[in-house]
Each structure stands twice: as structure tokens, then as C-alpha cells.
């Protein structure tokens, strides 16, 4: 029963909040959409609105992170007799087919965006993702292709994470796919650009093979533009996707930067990952500050130093001449002297702080605010020293601060370049990369698409996200459809209609007996009532959550095998210790499910009119847990105020 809004106090004075002092007299700066209030009643009633959480909005691959966290925590139940572990794997790999790898090496921008940071600390998203992937490997989960064969053929140039991700998405559409790879192994930067102690090769190979098992054909040791022309691909295939990455490194742009023992960070890591580079010689200076530079110096510390080596065994000759070290010689190695320099302050290095801390502990010397000026070379063209100057806080050279550091190897890790040998220059811009529109088509090149570092060098997860969009665009192109406009928030998000379909609860799809929608209704079975999907257009900030609902819970961080100065030499064991099943579920339970109901019952308990009620169990799914009786609702806002996830918003009802 509605309480009397004009209840008097003992003095007979009315103590009632009113939006307006008198009729027509508005209160200050009240927004227009709230001026419908009259005393304690309004025509605004709760509407259930799903939005994209900031973790997903921050993820370049558009992961449905909230979705698989909800599955791991036990909130979203799998259909039929599927285990939650497999269901989480399926949800996770809708966007990213490499959960084990990304869970290990992605710098996790999703965690930076996590609203839980406003309470105490981020969710360990990467750690839960690693658990999903590692468990999938243990259980032997596979990808299933249900689509009928379309008869269309797509060529993908490059077998890195972008090319392989696109290959899987295209196979799911029923297209035939052939991947052309210039190396003898697939994986791109995952295989050749990241050390094996960060990306275990058995795990990587398993996740690659799982994609190939869907029917993806490969042409290994085949360089498009050299071994086969673009024109030949254009004749044989219905669409072509460039996913060639940026596996080349940039040279040091200073006098003497062409010294024979000045090698790029990408080339250094490639030689190591191919098993050819077994040790280094003398002091190593790496110039950079990003993740690649950290990998270089960490590998150098593990490889160790051998003195008085033959000319043929100098690192630069191994790297450039495609030869290999004699493994026997590595028994003579000692700890390497390694210096990492960056133009920024150490605090502002772009590398992950965790990786910087590891490098420091392993004995890498890191110096910030240094500007390389000149490579000092001997008569043979080899670098013998690198001249630096110190920078002030504005990155201006401090006069008289120049000094030299003697060295045997210089490794600039200052950017990537594309190997476009033999390819038509018309595909590339003036910077050597390929331009793309929002659908990852190559402008003015019908049938050609692009994704990954060849667009702009960035994260592995960025290439995966671009590949997903490119695959959709290729599908539209092959079907003869116009390219669709991409949504404002371009991610994989919760689909209530799909969820209802899983449980045979989807709307009937019929209107009234005349086939018309008819008047507004909250009971007909041809619509999902009292619900709005805004995931494609808005990311929910922490200000829309009821943060007071959440207790402070310490993050259950992954453990590390600590490597230090004493045990770094020859230590190529994986450092990360993955979650147990219990740890994964506990950490996933910290997720605040931003923008989607997580069934806390606050709205039901606090509604003074009993207007908000639980949906009957046989009609309930995730996202349809509660509903509203509009005949009882007075628009008091309490349900929206106490909703922890921001899922309830007040919208206009009817008179």
C-alpha cells in the first residue's frame, strides 16, 4: 500500500520532498528527463539494460570477458550436459582461439579498465584465461565446424595469431582457407618473437593444431611475392587477407647505426627462438623500453657470455648468416653483462612493470633518460662502443653529459617493419604499412583485406580482434552483401536472444493474429519485455554501479617462479604458475558483472511495493532473472539505486 506522502510531524508541518515549490516553479538545474516526478511517484519504471563492461571495452580482441568469468564462477550455467569448463572455453574462444597464450603474455589492458580497481584491485583476468586454456589442452577440447561448405576459397598471407584467428572464423562460416607462411612453423611473433619460457612451445603448438584440425590448409616455406605472386592468388581465390605482420626490426637511426654487430631486437629473438643463437659475446646494449626490449635482455642474461669465440660464432654472424652455434661451446658460458637503455624515465617505460621487475631481479642494468648519439666503429665496421647523452625531464639533451659505453653487441628494439619483398607497392603506404577501413578492407582493392601488425604494430590481442572483424567483412563480401557499419562498441558481448534460445525460451517470433506488433504490451510472447541491449553503444563506468555492495577481497594473484642473478644463467623454465580450478573460480567470483544482472536479489528485497519479482525458474535465464509488475511500481528508484551492476535503469512507463 502506498504511504501517505503528506504525513505530518507533531507540529503539523508537512515534511514532503517535492520537485517543485509551486506549480510552474522549477527547482534549479533539474534535468528535463527528471521533471516528470510528482511527489513520491513518477512514470519512470525499472528497465533492465545490458551494457559492455570496461574490461571488454579495453580489450583489443573484444573478448566477452564478463561472460566467461560468469561461467567460471558458476553464475551462468551451460546448456545440456556440457561441463562449465568446456562452456567457458567455448565462450572464451569465440573471440580468441589462443587462451593459453594470451593468458600468459597479453599485457592485459582489460585489467587496467576493470571497475573492480575502484574497490581494491583488478580481477586476475589473464590468470583465469590461462586456466581456461590450459584446462582445454588437458581435456582435449576441439573446435567444431557446423557450417555447410560455401564453395568459396580464401587465401591468408601469414600464419601468425591474426592469420590463424581469421582462418578459424572463416572456417566457422564454411569457407575453404589456405594459409601461406614464409617460415617453416606457424605462429608468427608468438613463435619467433617471444621467448619459449614465456610461451611454452607445446602449448602454442597445441593451440595452433586445434585451428588446423578444422580443415585449414597450409603452404609452409612459401613467401607470397617471391614463391607465388599476388596475381596468382587473385586468380585462384575469392578473397585475400594480408596478415603478414611486421617481423622486421628498425635500425638505429644515428651515425654508425649500420655497424655489423648492430642487430634488431626482432632478429635477435628470431635467431634465439629458431635455436640458432646459443650464447652472446661480451657486453650487450639494448635500446628500447618496451616488451620486446625486455625479452631481448632477459634472453641475453639466460644465454650467457662466451669470450674469445671464433669470428663465425659472433652473435651477429649467427643472426645474419642463418647459421647456428655449436651447443658444446655453451658449456663455457658465464653471466652476461647486459644494459637496457630508454629515452623515458624508468617509471614511464612502456613495458609491463612485472617484466621490468623480473629483469631487474635477473641482473639486467636499466638506465633511463639516455639518448644514443653515435655508434663508435673500428676499422672492420664493428661497433666497439655506443655514445650517449643524458636527457632532462623534457627529453632535451643535457649539455656536456655525453659519455661512451663499450660493447660487443648493440640491439635496438625501437620499432617494427614489414617485409614486403616482391609485393606490389600499391598495397603499402609511405610508412611501409597497409591502410584499412573500419571493416579491414584495403581501400580501392576489392577482395583484399588486412589485419594485424601490417596495419599498425601493436599487441597480439589487437591482431586477433582485427582478424575477427576482417573475417566478418570477408564473409559479407563473399556473400555479395554490402559492408555493414561497425557498432560504436565493437566487441563480443552478451546476447540475451542467444541465451534464451539455448534454453528454448526464445520469443515466439509472432505478432498478433493479424501479423502486426499491436499496442505496447508487457505480456505477449513475441517480445522480450522490459529489456534493452545497449552493449553495442555504451560502456558502463563505475559511477553507474552501487560499489557499496562489494566487500573488499584481496586479489588471488598468480604465483611466479622467481629467477634472480644467481639462477638466471641457462634458466629457460616457465615462470608463471597457473591457477588451480579452485583459485580460478575464487578469482572469477570477484567479478562485479558490470552492466549485467548477477542475481544478488537486492532489487527484490529492497522494493517497498513488491513490484520487482523473480522470474519463474522454468522461464529464467541469465539476464532474465527479475521482472517488474508495472501495476505496483511507483517509480521510487530504489531498485536502481541498490543494483550493484548498474543493470537497472529507470525508463518511461505508461500512464
Domain ranges of the chain: 1-32, 54-141+492-640, 153-246+418-478, 250-414
Q: Are 588 and 491 in contact (CB under 8 A)?
A: no
Strand ranges (E), 578-624 = 612-614
User: What pLDDT, in 10s, does the model give residues 66-110?
Assistant: 999 999 999 999 988 999 999 999 999 999 999 999 999 999 999
Give mean pLDDT, residues 239-251: 95
Is 273 within 8 Å of 319 (Cβ atoms)?
Answer: no
Residue 135 has pLDDT above 60, yes or no: yes
Q: Please report the pLDDT score of residue 509 as a whole number.
A: 63
Total residue count of the chain as it appears in this document:
655
Q: Is the Cα torsion angle 242, 248, 254, 258 positive or negative in sign?
A: negative
Higher pLDDT, residue 141 or 45:
141
CB of 599 within 8 A of CB of 73? no
pLDDT at 37 over 60: no
Q: What is the DSSP letter of 239?
A: E
> What's the pLDDT band for 5 if we cut at 50, 70, 90?
very low
Residue 38 corresponds to which cell in the numbers above?
A: 510528482
Q: What is the CATH number of domain 250-414?
A: 3.50.50.60
Q: Residue 371, CB half-sphere, CA atoms under 13 Å: how many?
A: 17
What percent of the residues of the chain are helix, what percent strand, and what percent coil, each to the nearest 5? 30, 15, 55
- Residues 159, 164, 167, 172, Cα dihedral to 10°: 160
Q: Is 394 exposed, middle or buried (0-12, 13-18, 19+ CB in 10 A)?
A: exposed
> What residue has cell string 552501487?
546
Q: Which of 292, 264, 239, 634 is nearest to 459 (CA)?
A: 292
pLDDT at 612 over 70: yes
pLDDT at 43 over 90: no
pLDDT confidence band for 35 (50 / 70 / 90): low
At residue 140, the pLDDT reads 97
pLDDT for res 335 = 83
Q: Which helix (H) or strand (E) holds 176?
A: strand 176-180
d(CA 595, CA 183): 44
Q: Which residue has the higher pLDDT, 1 or 44?
A: 44
Q: To the nearest whole number, what is the mean pLDDT of the chain?
A: 89
Residues 304-347: pLDDT tens digits?
988 877 788 888 888 888 777 766 565 567 788 999 999 999 99
Cβ(209)–Cβ(160) below 8 Å: no
Q: Is the dihedral of CA 191, 194, 196, 202 positive or negative?
A: negative
pLDDT value, residue 306: 85
Rounded to an integer, the average pLDDT of 347-355 is: 92
Give the pLDDT of residue 32. Answer: 54
Q: Give the tens place of pLDDT for each residue, 202-211.
A: 999 999 999 9
Q: What is the CA radius of gyration of the chain?
A: 29
Q: Do the bridges between strand 370-377 and strand 338-341 make them parallel or antiparallel, or are there none, so unpaired?
A: unpaired
- Rounded to 5 degrees, φ, ψ at 54 are -65, -20
Q: Is the pLDDT of residue 281 over 50?
A: yes
pLDDT value, residue 631: 86
Looking at the DSSP bridge assignments, the partners of residue 391 are 397
Helices marked H in 479-536 — which ranges?
Answer: 496-502
Question: Are 281 and 303 contacting, i.e. CB atoms less than 8 angstroms apart?
Answer: no
Q: Virtual CA dihedral for 634, 636, 637, 641, nearest 10 degrees?
A: -140
pLDDT of residue 33: 56
C-alpha span between 102 and 523 (Å, rounded): 45
Q: d(Cα 145, Cα 385) in Å, to the nearest integer?
A: 57
Task: Answer yes or no: same fold for 153-246+418-478 and 250-414.
Answer: yes
Q: What is the pLDDT of residues 458-489, one digit of tens each?
A: 999 999 999 999 999 999 999 999 988 999 99
Closest residue by Cα to residue 443 from 303, 611, 242: 242
CATH of the domain spanning 153-246+418-478, picked from 3.50.50.60, 3.10.300.10, 3.40.109.10, 3.40.50.10190: 3.50.50.60
Of 304, 289, 290, 297, the C-alpha closest to 268 is: 297
Average pLDDT of span 597-605: 95
Q: d(Cα 218, Cα 164) in Å, to the nearest integer? A: 10
> What nine digits make up the cell of 465?
580482434
Residue 370 has what pLDDT?
98
pLDDT tens-digit map of 521-555? 556 666 677 888 999 999 999 999 999 999 999 99
Amino acid at each position: 500500500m502506498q504511504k501517505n506522502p503528506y504525513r505530518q510531524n507533531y507540529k503539523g508541518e508537512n515534511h514532503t520532498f517535492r520537485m517543485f515549490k509551486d506549480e510552474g516553479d522549477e527547482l534549479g538545474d533539474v534535468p528535463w528527463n527528471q521533471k516528470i516526478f510528482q511527489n513520491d511517484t513518477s512514470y519512470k519504471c525499472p528497465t533492465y539494460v545490458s551494457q559492455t563492461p570496461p574490461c571488454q571495452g579495453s580489450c583489443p580482441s573484444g573478448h566477452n570477458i564478463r561472460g566467461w568469468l560468469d561461467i567460471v564462477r558458476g553464475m551462468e550455467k551451460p546448456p545440456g550436459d556440457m561441463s562449465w569448463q568446456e562452456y567457458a572455453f567455448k565462450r572464451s574462444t569465440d573471440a580468441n582461439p589462443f587462451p593459453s597464450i594470451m593468458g600468459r603474455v597479453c599485457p592485459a589492458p582489460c585489467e587496467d579498465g576493470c571497475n573492480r580497481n575502484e574497490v581494491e584491485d583488478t580481477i586476475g583476468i589473464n590468470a583465469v584465461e590461462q586456466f581456461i586454456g590450459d584446462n582445454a589442452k588437458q581435456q582435449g577440447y576441439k573446435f567444431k565446424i557446423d557450417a555447410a561448405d560455401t564453395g568459396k576459397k580464401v587465401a591468408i598471407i601469414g600464419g601468425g595469431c591474426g592469420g590463424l584467428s581469421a582462418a578459424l572464423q572463416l572456417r566457422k562460416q564454411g569457407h575453404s582457407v589456405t594459409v601461406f607462411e614464409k617460415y617453416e612453423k606457424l605462429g608468427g611473433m608468438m613463435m619467433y618473437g617471444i621467448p619459449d619460457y614465456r610461451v611454452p612451445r607445446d602449448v602454442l603448438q597445441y593451440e595452433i593444431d586445434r585451428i588446423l584440425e578444422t580443415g585449414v590448409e597450409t603452404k609452409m616455406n612459401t613467401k607470397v611475392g617471391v614463391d607465388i605472386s599476388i596475381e596468382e592468388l587473385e586468380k585462384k581465390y575469392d578473397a585475400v587477407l594480408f596478415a603478414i605482420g611486421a617481423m622486421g626490426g628498425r635500425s638505429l637511426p644515428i651515425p654508425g647505426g649500420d655497424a655489423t654487430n648492430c642487430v634488431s631486437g626482432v632478429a635477435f629473438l628470431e635467431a634465439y627462438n629458431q635455436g640458432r643463437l646459443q650464447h652472446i659475446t661480451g657486453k650487450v646494449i639494448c635500446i628500447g623500453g618496451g616488451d620486446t626490449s625486455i625479452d631481448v635482455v632477459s634472453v641475453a642474461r639466460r644465454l650467457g657470455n662466451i669470450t674469445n669465440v671464433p669470428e663465425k660464432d659472433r652473435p651477429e654472424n649467427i643472426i645474419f648468416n642463418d647459421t647456428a652455434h655449436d651447443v658444446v661451446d655453451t658449456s663455457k658460458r658465464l653471466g652476461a653483462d647486459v644494459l637496457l637503455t630508454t629515452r623515458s624515465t624508468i617509471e614511464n617505460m612502456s613495458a609491463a612493470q612485472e617484466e621490468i621487475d623480473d629483469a631487474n631481479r635477473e641482473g639486467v642494468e636499466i638506465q633511463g633518460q639516455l639518448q644514443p648519439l653515435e655508434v663508435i666503429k673500428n676499422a672492420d665496421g664493428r661497433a666497439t662502443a655506443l655514445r650517449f647523452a643524458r636527457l632532462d625531464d623534457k627529453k632535451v639533451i643535457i649539455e656536456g653529459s655525453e659519455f661512451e659505453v663499450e660493447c660487443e653487441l648493440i640491439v635496438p628494439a625501437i620499432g617494427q617493419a614489414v617485409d614486403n619483398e616482391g609485393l606490389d607497392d600499391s598495397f603499402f603506404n609511405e610508412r611501409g604499412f597497409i591502410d584499412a577501413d573500419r571493416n579491414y578492407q584495403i581501400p580501392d582493392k576489392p577482395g583484399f583485406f588486412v589485419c594485424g601488425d601490417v596495419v599498425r604494430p601493436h599487441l597480439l590481442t589487437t591482431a586477433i580482434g582485427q582478424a575477427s572483424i576482417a573475417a566478418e567483412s570477408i564473409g559479407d563480401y563473399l556473400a555479395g552483401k554490402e559492408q555493414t557499419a561497425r557498432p560504436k562498441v565493437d566487441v563480443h558481448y552478451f546476447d540475451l536472444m542467444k541465451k534464451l534460445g539455448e534454453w528454448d525460451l526464445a520469443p515466439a517470433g509472432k505478432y498478433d493474429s493479424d501479423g502486426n506488433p499491436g499496442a505496447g504490451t508487457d505480456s505477449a510472447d513475441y517480445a522480450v519485455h522490459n529489456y534493452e541491449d545497449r552493449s553495442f553503444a555504451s560502456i558502463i563506468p563505475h559511477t553507474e554501479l552501487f560499489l557499496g555492495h562489494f566487500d573488499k577481497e584481496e586479489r588471488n594473484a598468480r604465483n611466479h617462479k622467481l629467477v634472480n642473478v644467481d639462477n638466471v644463467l641457462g634458466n629457460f623454465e616457465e615462470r608463471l604458475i597457473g591457477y588451480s580450478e579452485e583459485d580460478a573460480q575464487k578469482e572469477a567470483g570477484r567479478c562485479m558483472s558490470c552492466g549485467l544482472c548477477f542475481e544478488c536479489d537486492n532489487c527484490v528485497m529492497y522494493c517497498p511495493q513488491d513490484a520487482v519479482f523473480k522470474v519463474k525458474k522454468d522461464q529464467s535465464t541469465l539476464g532474465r532473472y527479475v521482472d517488474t509488475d508495472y501495476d505496483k511500481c511507483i517509480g521510487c528508484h530504489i531498485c536502481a539505486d541498490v543494483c550493484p551492476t548498474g543493470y537497472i535503469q529507470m525508463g518511461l512507463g505508461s500512464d
